[in-house]
Structure 1
């Protein structure tokens, strides 16, 4: 989906919601809030295992989850009723709003065994399981639409090729959610305690297999359409977060199985993540310096807003 060069840039929230190119990006802020909350224990080791850390994590989780659920309902409802797009316009950005409940499921599952009130822990575990299912079905349908679009309307834009990597996000996050539930929720869900780990493994390993397949396809497509050095766009940052979910997913399944092979896969994903982050950061800094020198490093505001779109 490519915007017209003369299209106006939305300047308000209602206008942004009405624009099918911009609306899916409302899924990003809730995921950012959830990521910050989940990182509390890693980024602030002095707070680890304290009530303060749990309170911060739980508070941010609640805020991110509520916002994410609103977005997961509002944006698809807009798409189904008022957005006008062609049959060739399916975009990876459509995954952004529907995957937010999966992020809530993955980050919330790690909180279950840190909540001291049994009733709250029980409800949290069931909520995470339900959100994982809701987001999983929605992401699978969206990915199917994207695959159909790419098979019938071939991708030829090098600038937006990195956006294809966004599909890895729901895949890795679903494996992470299943693994986190198996690791942290058995006590809160005694009726499922015996099957959480087997289900997480049976879901996680095949999903990681498809993720590797999609990763290879993305690399091949990016290479085929670039015809030389890949032109910089903000979509390069799609090389980071989606791959990061594969790291957490593979690590979680490796912890459940004790598999060295899965552990090595997690390390390989981590190396790819670091390479993607370094590449994206280098490109961004270079573009900023070029822009300060009045060079055409970035496209127009409308094109920048649509850099993830196909």
Structure 2
């Protein structure tokens, strides 16, 4: 006979799910949304893939709504614990996952919603985009300020998790580039395009600076502990999204700006977008190679599962989208082939991580806030610097 296992056996009471909830869970919406968008752009024409991608996007909306309810509930019923988390060296970084997860839903309304709902999808996407932009800017300012004033950090505990709050603005910028061509008002489209460039500059230069420090940290202090192995993949995120943002913004700039008498600027933006996208893609390819190499190194000693594994999906997803976009804009088949290969890898990773997450959520051990147990000491950071959970079934 099969043994029925009760849910949430890791905690004494189901309310602990709310009390221990952290924004790290929103990384699941980032990875799921990015995977849906990549599947939808798979180079081979397979009609079923579009429906699979659309279903995944719809499921992601439900997931995002459920996680938002849990996040809000924690601040309502357990405000002291939620506020204490902000002083932790790692967990607040994942606040950036909230706007990034929302951005994938905005992109989905453009890719899947317009064919289904028409102009209403554009209105919804535009509204959500402005909300997403406000959240991204807020997180991009708040978390670094907390790092400067309340949190304790050391060079040896620094990982790619520092990128999470910073990258949210460039993700919103890329979404703006996808949304702008669908606005009926040419002036509004131009303003949205300009705002997206501002968001890009609000994020990418700072992210590139963090990557320099991350390189130095890895050279001086070597790889983080194996529970934080996936954090090496986070470096791929700002480079993939940065390249994608330049590509989509530049591609439609001539038409959008030409409609308001700035066609020459649009032509320049298109050239900058293509060349800039190529440069950032090359930089990303270097970090991708390092991420694969370091992960293989970790695998020799085992790689315990935690929510940080979602760090495999979103960075690889946005890099894959940038790769496929480069293939379309340059006409170089090599990018299309690489993008197709990365798409297959991403899909396999998503299935693996999603399955393990469902199991961990059912048992409850993935609901654990290190800020409640570990205080604010910086030494708490190395356990799971991917910032995406400190609980592991192992």
Give the TM-score, by structure 2 length: 0.70
Distance in 2 separating the partners of 1:78 and 1:53:
36
Q: Equivalents in 1 of 2:88, 2:195: separation in Å? A: 31
Kindly provide the CA deviation profile for residues 223-244 of structure 1, in whole angstroms up to 9, marking residues without a partner as x: 2233244221211111111111
Question: Separation in 1 of the partners of 2:191 and 2:202?
Answer: 16
The answer to whether structure 1 residue 99 and structure 2 residue 132 are counterparts is: no
- Are the aligned partners of 1:100 and 1:135 in contact in 2 as well (CA < 8 Å)? yes
Q: Structure 2 vs 1, CA of residues 250 and 229 (structure 1 numbering), >3 Å: closer, same or farther?
A: same
Say whether residues 1:169 and 2:242 are aligned partners. Answer: no
| 1:27-66 correspondence runs (5 A) | 27-44=96-113, 46-47=115-116, 50-66=118-134
Is 1:159–2:227 an aligned residue pair? Answer: yes
Q: In the alignment, is residue 202 of structure 1 matched against residue 202 of structure 2?
A: no
The root-mean-square deviation of aligned C-alpha atoms, in Å, is 2.5
Is 1:18 matched with 2:91? Answer: no
- Structure 1 pair 156/108, CA: closer, same or farther in 2 (3 Å)? closer
For the pair 1:79 / 2:147, whether they are aligned, the reply is: yes
Q: Distance in 2 between matches of 1:112 and 1:45?
A: 14
Following the alignment from structure 2 to structure 1, what is the Cα–Cα distance between the partners of residues 335 and 272?
Answer: 16
39-48 or 167-176: bigger deviation: 39-48
Aligned mates of 2:366, 2:186 — CA distance in 1:
52
SS at match of 1:240: helix
The answer to whether the Cα contact below 8 Å between 1:111 and 1:184 also exists between their aligned partners in 2 is: no
- The answer (yes or no) to whether the contact 1:110–1:180 under 8 Å persists in 2 is yes
**The one of 182, 206, 210 aligned to 1:138:** 206
Q: CA offset at residue 288 of structure 1?
A: 5.2
Deviations 1:212-256 (A, max 9, x none): 221121121122233244221211111111111012111222222
Cα deviation, residue 299, structure 1 = 9.2
CA contact (8 A) 2:100 2:168 kept: yes
Q: Which residue of 2 aligns with 1:3?
A: none
Higher RCO, 1 vs 2 (CA within 8 Å, ≥6 residues apart): 2
What CA distance in whole angstroms lies between the structure 2 residues aligned with 1:166 and 1:92? 5
The answer for the alignment partner of 1:116 in structure 2 is 184
- Say how many residue pairs are matched: 297
Q: Distance in 2 between matches of 1:77 and 1:104?
A: 21
Question: Would the alpha carbon gap of residues 187 and 300 (structure 1) be closer, same or farther in structure 2, given more than 3 Å must change?
Answer: closer
Aligned pair partner of 1:263 in 336, 340, 351? 336
Deviation for aligned residue 1:207: 1.8
Distance 2:83 2:205 in 1: 28
CA–CA separation in structure 2 for the residues paired with 1:277 and 1:207:
25
**1:298 offset after TM fit, Å?**
5.8
- What secondary structure is seen at the aligned counterpart in 2 of 1:187? helix
Aligned counterparts of 2:299 and 2:126: Cα–Cα separation in 1: 43
> How big is the shift at 1:285?
4.1
What CA deviation, in whole Å up to 9, does each residue of 1:27-66 have, x standing for no partner? 1111111111111133436436x22010011011010100
C-alpha distance in structure 1 between counterparts of 2:227 and 2:367, whole Å: 11
Q: Distance in 2 between matches of 1:13 and 1:286?
A: 25
Provide the rounded CA distance (Å) in 2 between the counterparts of 1:129 and 1:25: 24
Residue pair 1:187, 1:193 contacting (<8 A) in 2 also: yes
SS in structure 2 of the partner of residue 193 of structure 1 = helix
**CA distance in structure 2 between the aligned counterparts of 1:18 and 1:27, rounded to whole angstroms:** 16
- Give 1:21 deviation, angstroms: 1.5
Secondary structure at 1:93 match in 2: helix
